[in-house]
Amino acid sequence: MAYRAALGDIRFILDHVVPLAPIAATERFAEATPDLAEAILTEAAKLCDTVMAPLRRAGDQTPARLENGVVRSTPGFAEAFRQIAGGGWIGVSAPSAHGGMGLPQVLNMAVHDMMSGACLALELNPLLTQGQIEALEHHASDEIKALYLPKLISGEWSGTMNLTEPQAGSDVGALRARAEPSGDGTYAVSGQKIFISWGDCDMTENVCHLVLARLPGAAAGTRGISLFLVPKFIPDGNGKPGVRNGVNVVSLEHKLGLHGSPTCVMDYDRATGWLVGEEHKGMAAMFTMMNNARLAVGVQGVGVAEAACQAAVGYASDRRQMGAIIEHPDVRRMLATMRAEVFAARAIALACAAATDMATATGEADWQARAALLTPIAKAYGTDVGCDVASMAMQVHGGMGYIEETGVAQFWRDVRVTSIYEGTNGIQAMDLVGRKMMDGGEAAFRLLEEIEAGAETARATLPDLAGAVWSAAETLREGTEAMVARAMPDRFAGAAPYLGAFARVLGAHCHLRAALAEGGQGPRTALARVHIERILPHYAACLAEAREGAGGLFALSPEVLAS
């Protein structure tokens, strides 16, 4: 079964569940008309189905390689990238002043959903460039913007972000990379960075790195970190790639999956860099890129889950074993669960993107808080769904799922990293109950009020489903009140199950809206029943675990855990 972009679901969500219309009604995004949105989605789907999807297996079987200090990409990737860049897909949401389309993030994320399902390894390259575009747009000098943004948006140059070091993973404040002023407005950047996706490539003229480093005399921890733009080739007076900079790829990581996407160990040896933003305020600038990437990584999980689900349905429809296995109750249970989870995770991710767009268009604090609240949920839930659905797809295939020739195992190997990078899902959960609830939970309570109001509206048409969603939202409200009142470490110990509960309730709300949009009868309603009757009840177990906090966890000594 060949991959097909999920146009039907995406259109339905943007029409009925997370409407694009209110975004297009703002002055900022007035150009996002229904006709333009349809054209964007349709053309992106064609690109994904015909150009990118055929390269998924190639990226796995013929990985990127390091040759004489240069990364050589999978055969076919460069040609496909030229079509991505030439079609303007890197600039979907980029500023029009520098050559972008200036369209809403919700459309951009829908495109990345399709691209991720088609070929995640290749999709990562334009995704990272988009994150750098956003960081430079908000924090770089006018001179840097004028030179770099048009090149990045056009796809002539690509972008990366460099945070992690061997001794400093999630603890970014422990980094040792340093930058020394050169006296001419530039800085000499030195240090080593690891886990740098697409840290080099032969698909673009230049690779531009955003690098976190510490200036002389800077404070310890994250407060003393600055951000620098370090290109592979230093631009000459005409803005063309000039002399080679002091940045090199030391090696490529040997990974479980995503073989077509090179993950580099980078060495900076007094490489020329330019300060982005203010001195010692690098984390604020980098977080602009990271927040963009966190939502996009959640979307990556959704995209791969979609592809895995399609593969499982195709296999189950064709496989004969006491009849077509798609008629076996347990196989049907898995397929229905997969499809319901994908719809919920997709709707949540697009809701997060829509909140970001409304915050951009209106500047209203409530929309900003909504986007901030949904980001860790969209990232963690989307990637958990990606991993779980890919695993279930292997299970549907039975023994053939464990055999590499079928290709289904690649979905799991590729998507597994998404729950780790851009902040592990445990960190996302702690962010949700920590920073995102510094308002006393007000943003969460406003969202829960909307969920309850939606359930009340649905009672006349779907009383049983509406009642279940309303009750779950009310119980989650009580759980949120308890979470806000908790002290550390209990709050963090219960964070992951709490996020899981919130995601299931929010997913049920999206399914209920979908069922209501078709009048309570039809395939969306049947799918909503699967989610609300079979998946939503898990929220209660999640809240029960969250209520336990750290209780009992530290009673187990490291010696007992190791025994």
Residues 6+ apart with CB under 8 A from 327: none
Return the number of other C-beta atoms located less than 10 Å from residue 192's C-beta: 18
DSSP assignment, residue 301? H
Per-residue buried b or exposed e for 360-369, using 16+ beta carbons within 10 Å of the residue's own CB = bbeeeeebbb
Element (H, E) at 60: helix 56-61
Task: List the beta bridge partners of residue 230.
Answer: 209
- State the amino acid at position 292 in one-letter form: N
Dist. CA 217–CA 390, nearest whole Å: 48
Q: Which amino acid is at 536?
A: L
Residues sharing a CB contact under 8 Å with residue 310, sequence separation 6 or more, in sequence order: 1, 3, 4
The answer to whether the beta carbons of residues 87 and 43 sit under 8 Å apart is: yes
Catalytic residue among 327, 422, 449, 548: 422
Instruction: Tell me whether residue 474 is exposed, middle or buried, using C-beta atoms within 10 angstroms of its C-beta: 0 to 12, 13 to 18, 19 or more.
Output: middle
Query: Looking at residue 275, what DSSP letter applies?
Result: E
Residue 320's beta-bridge partner residues? 324
- Classify strands 157-162 and 206-214 as parallel, antiparallel or unpaired: parallel
| Residue among 280, 302, 276, 300 at smallest CA distance from 289 | 276
Tell me, letter by letter, the H, E, C secondary structure of 516-548. HHCCCCCHHHHHHHHHHHHHCCHHHHHHHHHHH
CA-based radius of gyration for the chain: 23
Active site residue 422: yes
DSSP SS3 for 6:
coil
Contact between residue 449 and residue 456 where contact means Cβ atoms under 8 Å apart: no
Numbers of helices and strands, H then E, in the chain: 19, 11
Residues with catalytic roles: 422
